[in-house]
Every structure is written in C-alpha cells, then in structure tokens.
Structure 1
C-alpha cells in the first residue's frame, strides 16, 4: 500500500515552491532565473488564454484541474530537471528542509506512478545526496527525511533496501548508530518483505554485522552485534553459498565471539549448520572445547594450534580466561543451593586459594553465577549458575533436583499435618481458662455482696 501525501495546491505552485527552496543554494543573482525555469509552459499558455477570454467577454473563466493544466510528460520533465539540479540538502531551517523534500518526494511518486524504474532512479539520487556527509548541524533533519522516504515507500519496495543502507552508512559515518538501533529489530521482517535478491539480503546482513562490530560500544551493543552475526551466519547456512565463504564467515564469528568479553554462551553458535561443518577443523575443535571441554583441553589445543590462534586473531589470555570461568561455572552448576570450598574452586580453576575470591568475583560479574562468599568458612554458597549446554545430562540433573524438592516439601507438609491436631487440642484446653495470676473478677465475672 502506497502512502499518499495530500497537498492542496496545483502542480505549478508545488514545483515552484520546491524550486524556490533549492534556489537558496545558488548565488542570489541566479535565483529568480532558476525558479522561472521551472514554470510549466502549458500553465503559462493556459493562463494567457484564460486572461484573453476574460478580457474579451468580461466574464471570469473557470480554472481547470491542476493535473490537467500540466500534461504528464511536462510534469515528469520538470521533476527530472529539478532533481538533477540538487547537490545538497538545501539551506534553511530543519522545517524548511524536511518540508521541501517531502513535497518533492510526493511529486515524484505521483508523476511516476507505474514507472518504478524512473521513480527509483530519482529517489535514489535524493537518497544519495542526503546520505553524503556535510554539516553536522543538518544530520538530524537528514535522518528524518531519509526515514520519511523509507516510510513513504510501499513495504515491498526494493528502494526501502537502498534507503535503509543509506541510513545505516550515514549513522555509522557520524558515530550515531543509536539513531537506527531501534529499527534493527525489525530488519528480519523487512528482509522478508522487500522484493530484493538473496544476494542483496546477504549483503544487507553482512553490512549490519560489520557496522555493529566495528562501532560496538558497551556490552549490550556487543551482544547486539553478535546477534546479527548469528543471523547472518544462519542466512548463509540456508542459502547455496560456497563452502569456502561459509567456512570463512563461520570462523570469523567464532573468533569474534571469543574476543567479546561479554559472550560466554556458545551453544547457539555451535548449532548453526555452517559452524557444524567446521567439525574436525582447528576452529571447530576450539568451539567444542568452549561448549563442553575444559581449560586443560584448551591447553592441549593451544599446544597443537598456536598458529591457528594467531591466524584467527584470538588472544590466548582471553581464551584462557573464558575457559577457566566456564569451568568454574560448570562446578557451580553441580552445586546449586550448596556450598563449595575454596579448595575445590582452586583445583577447578587451576589457581592458588589466595586467588579464589578474585575468580569468583569475576565469574559473578560475567553473569554466569550468583552466590555468597564466606571468608570465615572459606566457601562459596551457590544460588544460581549457568550451564554451557543444556542437554540430556542437564535435564537428568534437573529432574533429580525436582525430586529432592518434592521430597523436602512432602516432609514439611507431613510435619505440619502431625503438628496441627496437637496445636488444636492445646488451644481447646486453654480456651476459657483464666490466665496465670488472673482471678475470676478479672476474667469477666461479677461478685455481688449482700
């Protein structure tokens, strides 16, 4: 469905208004001539004819419909000429800039309805001009105009893809990704709607992943970037992409995930077909260690694949840290609602007991575990812990815990049911009896004296 802009003015008035706005970018001596060059010839001829008729018989002639006064071919020619003259966003207030562009887009869409190729060409020119870097003070209105164009287009329009890419690139070049971040959540839905090729969809996801990865800020931004990398990798897995390309992207995502300090959940990544195809390769084996291996396994891998770690640009220190924290989280996952000693933690992480508290604090900050340290007892009580993977073994452990909880609750209910009759009997025996030290009068009875 196309959004239609309703403007209560003739084509001549509209094209002159837009021309007058863009004339501000020209030398003052040229402005009048520039505006006059967009005077429709048919309108001028019609005006002269009407004036002659009125002068002849003295009566006012009815004005024809604006669209009929200016033939379609002439309207299109004037619009093309005007778009060709646009070199920048224009001068004036943000309100003026936005209004002029909205009106011009409306004119293009109205005049070139049914001519998608030409309409796309003209709108693409405007999008290209707006997405050029320039005065930072005009960035906000440029974003609004580009967003207006995006929303003006039908949901299936391929030009939405072009507009989105322009917005993304412009925001990234100005270090203002927060302006487009909320829209990224809708990108999968948009990609399903846009009438573009699979190659263009792949390119769009690759661009978003690259921009977010290069411009990532805090932990949340990094996780968002990683999420789009997973989306891109899944898309490649669903397409007839070359094996080498899928392998290259999969290895890059694995390396990026390891480098990102806030990423510890590798199970989702490991389940993507393009990643599973790496099984048996150094990168595939490394991911397997992080999902189900140990720091000791990592040490062995590094001994055999030191050059691979360098090729993937993965710092060994970050690899070692993640492996140890995941080992510690695994130990805690086996002891939820229980206490584990400093000695157990030191043995699992491979450090001295003096360093245990630092590692526990680190694993808590990573969001893998929650609990309470006891320096007096040299123990750590686990409240919650994250599993690396959740498979058959974890389901079995969960079942055992549920059975334990059920048994404990049954014992509590049994104790309460036994205590209830005794409590009721005690209450009946004491009902109505004076409290210790209380006499009959104070118990509410009257004593009469004759």
Structure 2
C-alpha cells in the first residue's frame, strides 16, 4: 500500500509538488516538475489524475489526498478557480463503491463549507453533492429541508434555471430515498420558480407535482396547488380535474372519474386502492367540517365501506390526527371535536379572524376581572391596617 503524503505547514506550491510525486508513484500520467503556468495549472493536472487513488481498501489514503487537494483549492481566488472546482466535482462523482463515494461526499462538503457564501460556484458544488448523495444513498447528509437550502444560498441565490435543475434532481433523489413529503415540498418550490411569462413552459413539472402530491399519503392540504400559475395552465386537462376532486369533492366523484379514466390514472403512476383510501379520509374530513356528529350508517354509505369496516376506519382516521373525535359504539355515532380543513380559503381566514377576536375579548374580560379583584383585595388590606392602629390606640 502506498503511504499518503503528509502536508503540514508548507506552501500550496510545495503541496502540489508532493501530490505530483505521489500520483506519479501510483502510475498516473503526470510529471513531478512544477508547471511554469503556476499553481492553477498544477492543480488542474493533479485533479485530472486524482482518480488514480480510487481503489477499494485505500479509503484512509484517499480521504487524506482529497482533503489536501481541497486545502490548496481554497487558496486560489474564485475568478481563477471555477474550472478547477468543476473538474474536481466531476471526478468525485465517478468514484466507485459506497465507501469511496462517502469519502468523496465528505471532501466535497468540506469544499462547499470552505467557499465564501457570495461565491456563485457553491451552487455547482452543491449540485454535485446531491449527485453523490444519490449514489451513496446519503442525501440526508447534504439536504435537510427547503428552508435550510434557501439560507445556504441567501448571499448568492442561483438563477431560476439553476434552481429548476437542482429541484428536479432533488425530487428524484428524495423520492428514491423514501422522503415523499420533502419531495412534494421541493416540487412546489420548483413550480414557484416560474413566472407568469414562462409558466406555460412548466406543464410537465406541474403534472409531476400534482401526481406526487396525490400519491403522498401524508399530504392532505392540496388546494394551494391550484393557486400556482403552472398548475392553472393545466385547467381543462384530466390531471387538473383529478386534483380538483382531491381538493374539494368526495369519494363518489373520484370513483366516477376512475370509472371513465382508468388508464389515465395508471399512467400517472397512481395506485387506485391508495387513491380510494386517501379520498375516504378526505371525504370524512369534509363530513366532519359540517357535522358535530356522524352516524355509522352515513359513514358506511358515503365512504363505500362495509358495516364491519366502520370502526377500524374511524380508528385509522383518529391516528392521523386530521380529525379529533370520540366514537360511541352503543349509539353508533362519531362525535367531532375538531378537524383540519381540506381547503383554507377566504371563509376559513374569516373564521380564524373571528375566533382570534373572540379570544381577545375573553382575555380582556379576564384581565378586567383580575384588576377588580386586585383593587378589592387592596381595599380590604387597607381597612384592616386602619382598624389595627385604631385598636392599638
């Protein structure tokens, strides 16, 4: 096994010479002489052969070498290092195997964290980090959530085209890693990158966003999708009709749609059985919005389930916490305490406003009551003091 070189307290130029000699010893096509064109050319040639150390069983060696390359790279001004960084990213995405892939992921993370936040090349490094995260099934080490992603690029936001490319990749990776909820949020962000002028170009992204949201078992508030411009351009198409059913209609409407468009539903990658289960939950939420109590017979009829399935269905609904209720088997009724709204429009905002005003008025009454009690208590204390001194005299 080759012993990796140790670079401590030496100049980037001397580090580059050591790296040249090291890769030459591995049989790479590189000379040991310093380039007359400067450190940038040295580093470019080193990166060109750095995959010579990508061998199974050499993980510690590879990590040391890649970190040394990064330590030289960050000393080069950004305006002269962009092509070098891109070449380095491309090399690392080609590392074979899980172990070497993880080492490359760590090295690229180190580079990303070392770059100035106003440096535009950070976007390209991050994009390649997601690619390696996909290959190693470790995207969680790179991507936490949309909010964190936005903060990371707050000083130098990517272009709309760059974001669209990144969000499409992220969606693909998150779906593959089982993070469907995050994947749905990424697609909504993707659609948000389109303007009124180019929203018509986002039809495929909009279709994918709708299909992903419908398939996600944890996504129930779907009406915000209807307000997105790219989605509105799909109005009149089957995918938009299907979304509208999930937003505001009931199970019967879905069953009728499926009866007439079975092949279309399947073509969108949607599972009919799972669609029915989701529509049953949404239909029950709709019933709960307008009824304080619901009989088992109504549930059985509206949700198209058998008498034996009613109680187990209600238990499943309560587990989701979409509806808070209690079930009475003797009266065969469900008593609703609260429910999440399927849509949250003007009427729901008005309802929330009225509720907050009511709370404010009640808090004002409590505060006034406390003040009156405090005043009365103070008056009693004062009288007791006067009485005490009069008795002393």
Q: What is the TM-score when the length of structure 1 is the normalising length?
A: 0.68
Give yes or no for the alignment of 1:79 onto 2:73: no
Match of 1:22 in 2: 23
Greater alpha carbon shift after TM alignment, 305-314 vs 201-210 = 305-314
Q: 1:7 to 1:195 in 2, by over 3 A?
A: farther
* 1:80 CA displacement: 3.4
Alignment of 1:34-45 (within 5 A): 37-40=31-34
Match of 2:378 in 1: none
Structure 1 Cα separation of the partners of residues 279 and 310 of structure 2: 16
Match of 2:105 in 1: 143
* 1:233 CA displacement: 1.3
Match of 2:245 in 1: 289
Q: 1:95 to 1:17 in 2, by over 3 A?
A: farther
Gaps of 5+ in 1: 1-5, 42-71, 410-450
Match of 2:72 in 1: 107
Give yes or no for the alignment of 1:274 onto 2:238: no
Structure 2 residue corresponding to 1:204, chosen from 153, 166, 183: 166
Alignment of 1:213-232 (within 5 A): 213=175, 215-217=176-178, 221-232=179-190
Deviations 1:44-82 (A, max 9, x none): xxxxxxxxxxxxxxxxxxxxxxxxxxxx83444433333
- Are the equivalent residues in 2 in contact too, given 1:368–1:386 (CA < 8 A)? yes
- Are the equivalent residues in 2 in contact too, given 1:12–1:39 (CA < 8 A)? no
- Are the equivalent residues in 2 in contact too, given 1:165–1:204 (CA < 8 A)? yes
- Are the equivalent residues in 2 in contact too, given 1:21–1:90 (CA < 8 A)? no
Larger radius of gyration: 1
Alignment of 1:350-369 (within 5 A): 350-369=304-323
* 1:190 CA displacement: 4.3
Aligned residues: 358
Give yes or no for the alignment of 1:169 onto 2:134: no
Q: Give 3-state SS (helix, strand or coil) of 1:86's partner.
A: helix
- Are the equivalent residues in 1 in contact too, given 2:327–2:333 (CA < 8 A)? yes
Q: 1:216 to 1:195 in 2, by over 3 A?
A: closer
Q: Give 3-state SS (helix, strand or coil) of 2:326's partner.
A: strand
Q: What is the TM-score when the length of structure 2 is the normalising length?
A: 0.77
* 1:320 CA displacement: 2.5
Match of 1:66 in 2: none
Structure 1 Cα separation of the partners of residues 43 and 118 of structure 2: 24
Match of 2:271 in 1: 315
* 1:131 CA displacement: 1.9
Structure 2 Cα separation of the partners of residues 83 and 155 of structure 1: 24
Q: Give 3-state SS (helix, strand or coil) of 2:334's partner.
A: strand
* 1:173 CA displacement: 1.6
- Are the equivalent residues in 1 in contact too, given 2:47–2:91 (CA < 8 A)? no
Match of 1:3 in 2: none
* 1:21 CA displacement: 4.3
* 1:266 CA displacement: 0.4
* 1:98 CA displacement: 3.9
Structure 2 Cα separation of the partners of residues 242 and 9 of structure 1: 54
Q: Give 3-state SS (helix, strand or coil) of 1:26's partner.
A: coil
Q: 1:398 to 1:345 in 2, by over 3 A?
A: farther
- Are the equivalent residues in 2 in contact too, given 1:331–1:348 (CA < 8 A)? no
Structure 2 residue corresponding to 1:153, chosen from 100, 115, 120: 115
* 1:205 CA displacement: 1.3
Q: Give 3-state SS (helix, strand or coil) of 2:193's partner.
A: helix
Gaps of 5+ in 2: 1-6, 364-393
* 1:162 CA displacement: 1.9
Q: 1:226 to 1:114 in 2, by over 3 A?
A: closer
Match of 2:382 in 1: none
Query: What is the alpha-carbon root mean square deviation over aligned residues?
Result: 3.6
- Are the equivalent residues in 2 in contact too, given 1:332–1:385 (CA < 8 A)? yes
Deviations 1:141-179 (A, max 9, x none): 222110111122222333222211211111112222222
- Are the equivalent residues in 2 in contact too, given 1:333–1:385 (CA < 8 A)? yes
